[in-house]
Structure 1
Amino acid sequence: MGAAMMKVFMMIGLVTSLVSVAYAATGTATYYTPPYVPSSCYGFQDNGVMIAAASDVIWDNRAACGRNYQVTCTGPTNAGVPQPCRGSVIVRIVDYCPPGCAGTIDLSQEAFALIADPAAGKVNIEYHQV
Protein backbone atom coordinates (compact mmCIF):
# COMPACT_ATOMS: atom_id res chain seq x y z
CA MET A 1 0.00 0.00 0.00
CA GLY A 2 1.40 3.37 -1.01
CA ALA A 3 1.96 6.29 1.33
CA ALA A 4 -0.84 8.28 -0.32
CA MET A 5 -3.34 5.45 0.20
CA MET A 6 -2.26 5.11 3.84
CA LYS A 7 -2.90 8.84 4.40
CA VAL A 8 -6.38 8.48 2.89
CA PHE A 9 -7.23 5.61 5.26
CA MET A 10 -5.86 7.56 8.24
CA MET A 11 -8.00 10.60 7.34
CA ILE A 12 -11.10 8.43 6.95
CA GLY A 13 -10.41 6.88 10.37
CA LEU A 14 -9.92 10.30 11.96
CA VAL A 15 -13.13 11.71 10.49
CA THR A 16 -15.08 8.60 11.52
CA SER A 17 -13.86 8.82 15.12
CA LEU A 18 -14.68 12.53 15.33
CA VAL A 19 -18.19 11.97 14.00
CA SER A 20 -18.88 9.22 16.55
CA VAL A 21 -17.65 11.41 19.44
CA ALA A 22 -19.73 14.38 18.29
CA TYR A 23 -22.98 12.38 18.14
CA ALA A 24 -25.36 12.93 21.02
CA ALA A 25 -28.88 11.64 21.42
CA THR A 26 -31.62 13.90 22.74
CA GLY A 27 -34.19 13.20 25.40
CA THR A 28 -35.30 14.31 28.83
CA ALA A 29 -33.93 13.92 32.33
CA THR A 30 -35.79 13.66 35.60
CA TYR A 31 -34.47 12.76 39.04
CA TYR A 32 -35.12 10.41 41.92
CA THR A 33 -34.26 10.77 45.58
CA PRO A 34 -32.41 8.57 48.09
CA PRO A 35 -32.19 5.85 49.13
CA TYR A 36 -30.48 4.63 45.95
CA VAL A 37 -30.26 0.99 47.03
CA PRO A 38 -31.33 -1.57 46.17
CA SER A 39 -30.83 -1.06 42.45
CA SER A 40 -31.78 -3.29 39.52
CA CYS A 41 -28.16 -3.69 38.45
CA TYR A 42 -26.26 -4.03 41.72
CA GLY A 43 -28.70 -4.94 44.48
CA PHE A 44 -27.55 -3.44 47.76
CA GLN A 45 -24.08 -2.37 46.53
CA ASP A 46 -23.48 1.37 47.10
CA ASN A 47 -22.52 3.05 43.82
CA GLY A 48 -22.24 6.61 45.13
CA VAL A 49 -24.45 9.45 43.97
CA MET A 50 -23.34 10.15 40.38
CA ILE A 51 -25.76 7.50 39.16
CA ALA A 52 -28.89 7.11 37.06
CA ALA A 53 -31.74 4.81 36.16
CA ALA A 54 -32.18 4.01 32.46
CA SER A 55 -35.52 4.08 30.68
CA ASP A 56 -36.32 1.53 27.99
CA VAL A 57 -34.62 3.84 25.45
CA ILE A 58 -31.24 3.12 27.10
CA TRP A 59 -31.86 -0.03 29.18
CA ASP A 60 -31.18 -2.56 26.39
CA ASN A 61 -32.30 -5.60 28.42
CA ARG A 62 -29.85 -4.86 31.30
CA ALA A 63 -26.90 -4.24 28.95
CA ALA A 64 -26.88 -0.59 30.14
CA CYS A 65 -25.81 -1.64 33.66
CA GLY A 66 -22.43 -0.09 34.39
CA ARG A 67 -22.35 2.12 31.31
CA ASN A 68 -21.37 5.74 31.81
CA TYR A 69 -23.24 8.57 30.11
CA GLN A 70 -22.45 12.24 29.81
CA VAL A 71 -25.71 14.12 30.23
CA THR A 72 -25.98 17.81 29.30
CA CYS A 73 -28.97 20.01 30.03
CA THR A 74 -30.14 21.85 26.90
CA GLY A 75 -33.25 23.65 28.16
CA PRO A 76 -36.56 23.54 29.97
CA THR A 77 -39.32 21.14 28.91
CA ASN A 78 -42.00 23.78 29.47
CA ALA A 79 -42.21 26.97 27.40
CA GLY A 80 -42.02 30.16 29.41
CA VAL A 81 -39.98 28.60 32.22
CA PRO A 82 -36.69 30.37 33.04
CA GLN A 83 -33.52 28.60 31.84
CA PRO A 84 -32.82 25.87 34.44
CA CYS A 85 -29.58 24.55 32.89
CA ARG A 86 -26.26 24.50 34.72
CA GLY A 87 -24.08 22.17 32.63
CA SER A 88 -23.31 18.49 32.27
CA VAL A 89 -22.44 15.46 34.37
CA ILE A 90 -21.18 11.91 33.87
CA VAL A 91 -23.29 9.24 35.54
CA ARG A 92 -23.21 5.46 35.79
CA ILE A 93 -26.34 3.42 35.04
CA VAL A 94 -27.20 1.39 38.13
CA ASP A 95 -30.97 1.05 37.94
CA TYR A 96 -33.98 0.65 35.69
CA CYS A 97 -36.72 3.25 35.28
CA PRO A 98 -39.73 1.09 34.32
CA PRO A 99 -42.25 1.75 31.54
CA GLY A 100 -44.01 5.01 32.23
CA CYS A 101 -40.73 6.59 33.30
CA ALA A 102 -41.10 10.36 32.87
CA GLY A 103 -37.60 10.82 31.42
CA THR A 104 -35.15 9.16 29.07
CA ILE A 105 -32.75 8.99 31.99
CA ASP A 106 -33.66 9.35 35.67
CA LEU A 107 -30.68 10.94 37.44
CA SER A 108 -29.90 10.85 41.12
CA GLN A 109 -30.99 14.06 42.82
CA GLU A 110 -27.32 15.06 43.23
CA ALA A 111 -26.49 14.49 39.55
CA PHE A 112 -29.58 16.38 38.39
CA ALA A 113 -28.66 19.35 40.61
CA LEU A 114 -25.33 19.61 38.77
CA ILE A 115 -26.96 19.97 35.36
CA ALA A 116 -30.14 21.89 36.23
CA ASP A 117 -32.17 23.58 38.93
CA PRO A 118 -34.05 20.75 40.70
CA ALA A 119 -37.16 22.97 40.80
CA ALA A 120 -37.48 22.31 37.04
CA GLY A 121 -38.16 18.63 37.75
CA LYS A 122 -37.61 17.65 34.12
CA VAL A 123 -35.29 19.11 31.48
CA ASN A 124 -34.33 18.53 27.86
CA ILE A 125 -30.93 16.90 27.45
CA GLU A 126 -28.32 15.60 25.10
CA TYR A 127 -26.56 12.43 26.20
CA HIS A 128 -23.97 9.99 24.95
CA GLN A 129 -22.11 7.00 26.28
CA VAL A 130 -18.56 7.72 27.45
Structure 2
Amino acid sequence: MAIPKNIILVIIGFVVTLFSIVLATPGTATFYTNYVPSACYGNKAQGTRIAAASDSLWGGGKICGKTFNVTCTGPTNPVPHPCTGKSIVVKIVDHCPGCGGTLDLSKEAFSTIANPVAGVIKINYVQ
Protein backbone atom coordinates (compact mmCIF):
# COMPACT_ATOMS: atom_id res chain seq x y z
CA MET A 1 0.00 0.00 0.00
CA ALA A 2 1.48 3.33 -1.09
CA ILE A 3 1.47 6.39 1.14
CA PRO A 4 -0.28 9.38 -0.52
CA LYS A 5 2.07 12.17 -1.67
CA ASN A 6 0.34 14.82 0.45
CA ILE A 7 0.96 12.76 3.63
CA ILE A 8 4.64 12.41 2.72
CA LEU A 9 4.90 16.18 2.11
CA VAL A 10 3.30 16.93 5.49
CA ILE A 11 5.73 14.58 7.23
CA ILE A 12 8.72 16.14 5.45
CA GLY A 13 7.49 19.64 6.34
CA PHE A 14 7.10 18.65 9.98
CA VAL A 15 10.61 17.15 10.13
CA VAL A 16 12.17 20.23 8.49
CA THR A 17 10.34 22.54 10.90
CA LEU A 18 11.37 20.44 13.89
CA PHE A 19 14.97 20.35 12.67
CA SER A 20 15.09 24.14 12.24
CA ILE A 21 13.63 24.66 15.73
CA VAL A 22 16.32 22.44 17.22
CA LEU A 23 19.04 24.43 15.42
CA ALA A 24 17.63 27.85 16.37
CA THR A 25 19.70 30.07 18.64
CA PRO A 26 17.97 32.11 21.36
CA GLY A 27 18.64 35.81 21.72
CA THR A 28 16.97 39.20 21.95
CA ALA A 29 16.02 41.79 19.37
CA THR A 30 15.54 45.54 19.38
CA PHE A 31 14.81 47.84 16.43
CA TYR A 32 16.20 50.95 14.76
CA THR A 33 15.02 53.39 12.10
CA ASN A 34 18.16 55.01 10.58
CA TYR A 35 19.24 52.55 7.85
CA VAL A 36 22.15 54.29 6.09
CA PRO A 37 25.08 54.52 6.25
CA SER A 38 25.88 50.99 7.38
CA ALA A 39 29.11 49.31 8.38
CA CYS A 40 28.70 46.69 5.63
CA TYR A 41 27.40 48.69 2.65
CA GLY A 42 28.22 52.36 3.34
CA ASN A 43 25.50 54.64 1.95
CA LYS A 44 24.00 52.00 -0.36
CA ALA A 45 20.43 51.17 0.74
CA GLN A 46 19.64 47.49 1.33
CA GLY A 47 15.85 47.67 1.77
CA THR A 48 13.97 47.21 5.03
CA ARG A 49 14.37 43.48 5.72
CA ILE A 50 17.66 44.22 7.42
CA ALA A 51 19.40 43.98 10.77
CA ALA A 52 22.52 45.04 12.61
CA ALA A 53 24.58 42.44 14.47
CA SER A 54 25.68 42.73 18.08
CA ASP A 55 29.33 42.45 19.11
CA SER A 56 28.86 38.73 19.81
CA LEU A 57 27.88 38.07 16.17
CA TRP A 58 29.89 40.76 14.37
CA GLY A 59 33.18 38.84 13.96
CA GLY A 60 35.01 41.79 12.43
CA GLY A 61 32.36 42.14 9.72
CA LYS A 62 32.43 38.52 8.53
CA ILE A 63 28.68 38.37 9.10
CA CYS A 64 27.93 41.15 6.55
CA GLY A 65 25.40 39.98 3.98
CA LYS A 66 24.42 36.81 5.85
CA THR A 67 20.71 36.18 6.28
CA PHE A 68 18.85 35.03 9.37
CA ASN A 69 15.34 33.70 9.86
CA VAL A 70 14.12 35.45 13.02
CA THR A 71 11.09 34.49 15.13
CA CYS A 72 9.73 36.26 18.21
CA THR A 73 9.42 33.86 21.16
CA GLY A 74 8.20 36.16 23.91
CA PRO A 75 8.44 39.39 25.89
CA THR A 76 11.42 40.69 27.84
CA ASN A 77 9.32 43.31 29.64
CA PRO A 78 5.72 43.79 30.88
CA VAL A 79 4.22 44.09 27.35
CA PRO A 80 2.08 40.91 27.21
CA HIS A 81 2.03 38.77 24.07
CA PRO A 82 4.15 40.96 21.75
CA CYS A 83 4.70 38.23 19.13
CA THR A 84 2.68 38.14 15.89
CA GLY A 85 3.38 34.46 15.22
CA LYS A 86 5.29 35.31 12.02
CA SER A 87 8.96 34.94 11.13
CA ILE A 88 11.10 37.12 8.88
CA VAL A 89 14.35 36.67 6.98
CA VAL A 90 16.70 39.62 7.44
CA LYS A 91 20.07 40.52 5.93
CA ILE A 92 22.90 41.72 8.18
CA VAL A 93 23.95 45.17 6.97
CA ASP A 94 25.42 46.83 10.04
CA HIS A 95 27.15 46.52 13.40
CA CYS A 96 25.42 47.62 16.59
CA PRO A 97 27.97 47.75 19.38
CA GLY A 98 26.17 47.91 22.69
CA CYS A 99 22.71 47.92 21.07
CA GLY A 100 21.13 45.92 23.87
CA GLY A 101 20.13 42.89 21.80
CA THR A 102 21.56 40.09 19.74
CA LEU A 103 20.01 41.57 16.58
CA ASP A 104 18.92 45.14 16.00
CA LEU A 105 16.18 44.80 13.38
CA SER A 106 14.78 47.47 11.10
CA LYS A 107 11.50 48.76 12.48
CA GLU A 108 9.66 47.13 9.55
CA ALA A 109 11.24 43.73 10.25
CA PHE A 110 10.57 44.03 13.99
CA SER A 111 6.94 45.01 13.30
CA THR A 112 6.48 41.87 11.20
CA ILE A 113 7.30 39.60 14.13
CA ALA A 114 6.27 41.71 17.15
CA ASN A 115 4.50 44.79 18.43
CA PRO A 116 7.05 47.65 18.37
CA VAL A 117 5.66 48.89 21.71
CA ALA A 118 7.54 45.96 23.28
CA GLY A 119 10.88 47.55 22.32
CA VAL A 120 12.91 44.43 23.14
CA ILE A 121 11.78 40.84 22.56
CA LYS A 122 13.08 37.31 22.96
CA ILE A 123 13.87 35.66 19.64
CA ASN A 124 15.13 32.51 18.01
CA TYR A 125 17.27 32.93 14.91
CA VAL A 126 18.69 30.56 12.33
CA GLN A 127 21.25 31.42 9.67
Output the CA distance in 2 between the equivalents of 1:66 and 1:24: 19
With the length of structure 2 as denominator, give the TM-score of the two structures. 0.81
Q: For structure 2, which runs of at least 5 residues remain unmatched after alignment?
A: 1-17
Q: 1:76 to 1:38 in 2, by over 3 A?
A: same
Corresponding residue for 1:31? Answer: 31
| Structure 1 residues 51-90: aligned runs within 5 Å | 51-78=50-77, 80-86=78-84, 87-90=86-89
Output the CA distance in 2 between the equivalents of 1:20 and 1:51: 21
For 2:82, the aligned partner's letter is P
Tell whether the 8 Å contact from 2:20 to 2:126 is kept in structure 1 after alignment.
no
CA drift of 1:19 comes to 5.2
Corresponding residue for 2:45? Answer: 46
When the two chains are superposed, the root-mean-square deviation of aligned CA atoms in Å is: 1.8
Q: For structure 1, which runs of at least 5 residues remain unmatched after alignment?
A: 1-17
With the length of structure 1 as denominator, give the TM-score of the two structures. 0.79
Q: 1:89 to 1:45 in 2, by over 3 A?
A: same
Corresponding residue for 2:108? Answer: 110
Corresponding residue for 1:119? Answer: 117
For 1:90, the aligned partner's letter is V
Which of the two has higher C-alpha Rg? 1
Output the CA distance in 2 between the equivalents of 1:71 and 1:33: 18
Identity between Structure 1 and Structure 2 (%): 58
For 1:72, the aligned partner's letter is T
Deviant stretches of 4+, over 2 Å? 18-22
